[in-house]
Amino acid sequence: MKEKNMANNPSCQICGNQTFPLFDDKLSLTFHQCQHCGYTFKDNQHHLDHQAEKSQYDAHENTSDNQGYVRMFERFLTHAVLPYKQTGRALEFGSGPGPVLYEMLKTRGFKTTHYDPYYHPNQSYLNNTYDLITTTEVFEHLSNPEMVFKTLVSLLKQDGILAIMTSFRPNDNDEFLSWWYRRDATHIGFFTLKSFEHLAKKHGVPIVQTNHKNTITFKKE
Ligand SMILES: [Zn+2]
Protein backbone atom coordinates (compact mmCIF):
# COMPACT_ATOMS: atom_id res chain seq x y z
CA MET A 1 0.00 0.00 0.00
CA LYS A 2 2.76 2.36 0.94
CA GLU A 3 4.60 1.62 -2.29
CA LYS A 4 1.46 2.24 -4.28
CA ASN A 5 1.11 5.64 -2.62
CA MET A 6 4.74 6.48 -3.33
CA ALA A 7 4.17 5.68 -7.01
CA ASN A 8 1.44 8.33 -7.11
CA ASN A 9 3.66 11.05 -5.71
CA PRO A 10 4.67 13.72 -8.20
CA SER A 11 8.34 13.90 -9.07
CA CYS A 12 10.42 16.87 -7.95
CA GLN A 13 9.82 19.94 -10.12
CA ILE A 14 13.52 20.80 -9.82
CA CYS A 15 15.56 17.61 -10.03
CA GLY A 16 12.98 15.01 -11.09
CA ASN A 17 13.63 12.68 -8.15
CA GLN A 18 11.01 11.04 -5.99
CA THR A 19 9.06 13.07 -3.45
CA PHE A 20 7.23 12.07 -0.32
CA PRO A 21 4.13 13.77 1.08
CA LEU A 22 4.39 16.16 4.01
CA PHE A 23 1.07 16.88 5.69
CA ASP A 24 0.47 20.30 7.18
CA ASP A 25 -2.18 19.90 9.87
CA LYS A 26 -2.34 23.62 10.65
CA LEU A 27 -3.05 24.63 7.06
CA SER A 28 -4.86 21.39 6.15
CA LEU A 29 -2.82 20.85 3.03
CA THR A 30 -0.26 18.54 1.50
CA PHE A 31 3.27 19.43 0.47
CA HIS A 32 5.55 17.23 -1.62
CA GLN A 33 9.15 17.14 -0.48
CA CYS A 34 11.96 15.94 -2.72
CA GLN A 35 14.01 13.26 -1.04
CA HIS A 36 17.08 14.27 -3.03
CA CYS A 37 17.24 18.09 -3.16
CA GLY A 38 14.65 19.00 -0.51
CA TYR A 39 12.57 21.23 -2.78
CA THR A 40 9.07 21.33 -1.29
CA PHE A 41 5.90 22.32 -3.11
CA LYS A 42 2.21 22.54 -2.40
CA ASP A 43 0.00 19.96 -4.05
CA ASN A 44 -1.58 21.23 -7.29
CA GLN A 45 -5.03 21.36 -5.71
CA HIS A 46 -3.78 24.18 -3.45
CA HIS A 47 -2.59 26.38 -6.32
CA LEU A 48 -4.72 29.50 -6.82
CA ASP A 49 -6.28 30.34 -10.16
CA HIS A 50 -5.14 33.42 -12.06
CA GLN A 51 -7.78 35.81 -10.68
CA ALA A 52 -7.47 34.72 -7.04
CA GLU A 53 -3.71 35.06 -7.32
CA LYS A 54 -3.92 38.58 -8.74
CA SER A 55 -6.29 39.64 -5.94
CA GLN A 56 -3.65 38.57 -3.42
CA TYR A 57 -0.94 40.53 -5.24
CA ASP A 58 -3.13 43.63 -5.45
CA ALA A 59 -3.36 43.55 -1.65
CA HIS A 60 0.45 43.72 -1.28
CA GLU A 61 1.92 47.17 -0.72
CA ASN A 62 5.12 46.92 -2.70
CA THR A 63 5.41 50.40 -4.14
CA SER A 64 8.32 52.76 -3.65
CA ASP A 65 6.32 54.55 -0.95
CA ASN A 66 6.91 51.52 1.19
CA GLN A 67 10.33 52.21 2.69
CA GLY A 68 10.65 48.63 3.90
CA TYR A 69 10.68 47.38 0.31
CA VAL A 70 13.21 49.97 -0.75
CA ARG A 71 15.57 49.00 2.07
CA MET A 72 15.13 45.30 1.27
CA PHE A 73 16.04 45.92 -2.38
CA GLU A 74 18.99 48.13 -1.39
CA ARG A 75 20.40 45.23 0.65
CA PHE A 76 19.73 42.85 -2.24
CA LEU A 77 21.56 45.11 -4.72
CA THR A 78 24.45 45.63 -2.32
CA HIS A 79 25.30 41.99 -1.70
CA ALA A 80 23.68 39.96 -4.51
CA VAL A 81 24.00 42.17 -7.61
CA LEU A 82 26.49 45.07 -7.58
CA PRO A 83 29.60 43.07 -6.57
CA TYR A 84 29.09 41.10 -9.83
CA LYS A 85 27.53 43.56 -12.29
CA GLN A 86 27.47 47.34 -12.25
CA THR A 87 26.38 48.24 -15.76
CA GLY A 88 24.67 46.99 -18.91
CA ARG A 89 21.26 45.79 -19.96
CA ALA A 90 19.02 44.48 -17.16
CA LEU A 91 15.74 42.61 -16.92
CA GLU A 92 13.62 42.84 -13.76
CA PHE A 93 11.47 39.70 -14.03
CA GLY A 94 8.22 39.69 -12.02
CA SER A 95 8.42 43.39 -11.23
CA GLY A 96 5.03 43.65 -9.50
CA PRO A 97 2.65 46.62 -9.33
CA GLY A 98 5.39 49.03 -8.04
CA PRO A 99 7.71 48.36 -9.83
CA VAL A 100 10.28 49.34 -7.21
CA LEU A 101 13.41 47.40 -8.14
CA TYR A 102 12.97 48.27 -11.84
CA GLU A 103 13.11 51.97 -10.94
CA MET A 104 16.12 51.44 -8.67
CA LEU A 105 18.06 49.63 -11.42
CA LYS A 106 17.30 52.44 -13.88
CA THR A 107 18.47 55.01 -11.34
CA ARG A 108 21.75 53.13 -11.05
CA GLY A 109 22.28 53.37 -14.80
CA PHE A 110 21.22 49.95 -16.00
CA LYS A 111 19.33 49.96 -19.30
CA THR A 112 16.38 48.19 -17.75
CA THR A 113 13.36 46.27 -19.04
CA HIS A 114 10.75 44.76 -16.79
CA TYR A 115 8.17 42.04 -17.10
CA ASP A 116 5.31 40.96 -14.89
CA PRO A 117 2.60 38.49 -15.95
CA TYR A 118 -0.06 40.57 -14.16
CA TYR A 119 1.09 44.19 -14.15
CA HIS A 120 3.37 44.51 -17.17
CA PRO A 121 2.69 41.53 -19.45
CA ASN A 122 4.84 42.73 -22.33
CA GLN A 123 6.57 39.72 -23.87
CA SER A 124 9.10 41.81 -25.81
CA TYR A 125 11.68 41.14 -23.08
CA LEU A 126 12.15 37.76 -24.79
CA ASN A 127 13.70 39.50 -27.81
CA ASN A 128 16.78 40.67 -25.92
CA THR A 129 19.67 39.26 -23.95
CA TYR A 130 20.85 40.71 -20.66
CA ASP A 131 23.92 41.39 -18.55
CA LEU A 132 21.77 41.18 -15.45
CA ILE A 133 18.46 39.53 -14.59
CA THR A 134 16.89 40.13 -11.20
CA THR A 135 13.87 38.30 -9.88
CA THR A 136 12.71 38.85 -6.32
CA GLU A 137 9.89 37.14 -4.46
CA VAL A 138 8.92 35.33 -7.68
CA PHE A 139 10.30 31.79 -7.52
CA GLU A 140 8.13 30.79 -4.56
CA HIS A 141 5.07 31.50 -6.76
CA LEU A 142 5.99 29.29 -9.72
CA SER A 143 4.30 26.04 -10.71
CA ASN A 144 7.01 25.46 -13.36
CA PRO A 145 10.18 26.80 -11.67
CA GLU A 146 12.69 24.83 -13.72
CA MET A 147 11.23 26.05 -17.01
CA VAL A 148 11.34 29.66 -15.85
CA PHE A 149 14.92 29.25 -14.62
CA LYS A 150 15.93 27.74 -17.96
CA THR A 151 14.26 30.60 -19.87
CA LEU A 152 15.99 33.25 -17.77
CA VAL A 153 19.38 31.57 -18.22
CA SER A 154 18.78 31.50 -21.99
CA LEU A 155 18.27 35.29 -21.89
CA LEU A 156 21.61 35.94 -20.15
CA LYS A 157 24.64 37.11 -22.11
CA GLN A 158 27.93 35.35 -21.48
CA ASP A 159 29.19 36.47 -18.04
CA GLY A 160 25.65 37.65 -17.30
CA ILE A 161 24.29 37.49 -13.76
CA LEU A 162 21.02 36.05 -12.51
CA ALA A 163 20.17 37.24 -8.99
CA ILE A 164 17.23 35.63 -7.20
CA MET A 165 15.53 36.49 -3.93
CA THR A 166 13.25 33.87 -2.37
CA SER A 167 13.30 32.60 1.22
CA PHE A 168 15.14 29.29 1.57
CA ARG A 169 13.21 26.50 3.18
CA PRO A 170 14.23 25.59 6.76
CA ASN A 171 15.90 22.15 6.63
CA ASP A 172 14.03 20.91 9.65
CA ASN A 173 10.47 19.77 8.85
CA ASP A 174 9.04 20.85 12.22
CA GLU A 175 10.50 24.29 11.60
CA PHE A 176 9.13 24.26 8.07
CA LEU A 177 5.63 23.39 9.32
CA SER A 178 5.57 26.45 11.57
CA TRP A 179 7.29 28.78 9.06
CA TRP A 180 5.31 31.92 8.25
CA TYR A 181 6.44 31.97 4.60
CA ARG A 182 4.53 28.78 3.74
CA ARG A 183 1.23 30.32 4.92
CA ASP A 184 0.85 32.79 2.02
CA ALA A 185 -1.61 31.13 -0.36
CA THR A 186 0.38 32.36 -3.38
CA HIS A 187 3.63 30.75 -2.12
CA ILE A 188 3.71 27.25 -3.60
CA GLY A 189 7.40 26.27 -3.94
CA PHE A 190 10.24 26.38 -1.41
CA PHE A 191 13.90 25.97 -2.31
CA THR A 192 16.91 24.61 -0.53
CA LEU A 193 20.49 25.45 -1.46
CA LYS A 194 20.72 21.93 -2.90
CA SER A 195 17.77 22.64 -5.23
CA PHE A 196 19.59 25.70 -6.56
CA GLU A 197 22.86 23.76 -6.81
CA HIS A 198 21.07 21.26 -9.02
CA LEU A 199 19.77 24.04 -11.30
CA ALA A 200 23.21 25.68 -11.41
CA LYS A 201 24.91 22.49 -12.53
CA LYS A 202 22.25 21.43 -15.01
CA HIS A 203 22.04 24.83 -16.72
CA GLY A 204 25.73 25.78 -16.59
CA VAL A 205 25.43 28.79 -14.32
CA PRO A 206 27.70 28.41 -11.27
CA ILE A 207 26.62 29.99 -8.00
CA VAL A 208 28.78 33.01 -7.17
CA GLN A 209 26.94 34.18 -4.06
CA THR A 210 24.36 33.08 -1.54
CA ASN A 211 23.52 34.34 1.93
CA HIS A 212 22.01 30.91 2.71
CA LYS A 213 18.82 32.67 3.71
CA ASN A 214 17.02 34.33 0.81
CA THR A 215 19.42 35.41 -1.94
CA ILE A 216 21.47 33.56 -4.54
CA THR A 217 23.44 34.77 -7.55
CA PHE A 218 24.38 32.74 -10.65
CA LYS A 219 26.84 33.58 -13.42
CA LYS A 220 26.55 32.33 -16.99
CA GLU A 221 29.83 30.95 -18.25
ZN1 LIG B 1 14.53 17.64 -6.07
Could you tell me which residue, 48 or 125, shows the higher pLDDT? 125
Could you tell me the distance, in angstroms and rounded to a whole number, from the CA of residue 65 to the centre of ligand 1? 38
At 4, is the pLDDT very low, low, confident or very high (cuts 50, 70, 90)? very low
Task: Give the tens place of pLDDT for each residue, 174-189.
Answer: 999 999 999 999 999 9
Residue 2 has pLDDT above 50, yes or no: no
The predicted-structure confidence for 137-166, as pLDDT tens digits, reads as follows: 999 999 999 999 999 999 999 999 999 999
pLDDT mean across residues, the chain = 93
Is the pLDDT confidence value at 209 over 70? Answer: yes
Q: In angstroms, what is the span from residue 191 Cα to ligand 1's centroid?
A: 9
In the reported structure, the alpha carbon of residue 16 is separated from the centroid of ligand 1 by a whole-number distance in angstroms of 6
pTM exceeding the 0.75 threshold for the entire prediction = yes
What's the average model confidence in pLDDT over 187-198? 98
Q: What separation in Å is there between the alpha carbon of 207 and the centre of ligand 1?
A: 17
Calculate mean pLDDT across residues 53-76.
Answer: 79
pLDDT band at 63 (very low <50, low <70, confident <90, very high): low
Confidence of residue 56 (pLDDT cuts 50, 70, 90): confident
The Å distance, Cα 53 to ligand 1 centre, comes to 25
Mind listing the domains of the chain with CATH numbers?
2-219 (3.40.50.150)
Q: According to the model, what pLDDT value does residue 65 have?
A: 62
User: What are the residues whose beta carbon lies below 5 Å from ligand 1 (ion)?
Assistant: 12, 14-15, 17, 34, 36-37, 39
| E strand spans, the chain | 19-24, 29-34, 40-42, 89-93, 111-115, 130-136, 156-165, 189-190, 207-210, 215-219
CA 107 to centroid of ligand 1, rounded, Å: 38
> Does residue 193 carry a pLDDT above 70?
yes
Which residue pairs from 41-47 have beta carbons closer than 8 angstroms and sit at least 24 positions apart in sequence? 41/13, 41/188, 41/189, 41/190, 42/187, 42/188, 42/189, 44/10, 44/143, 46/185, 46/188, 47/143, 47/188
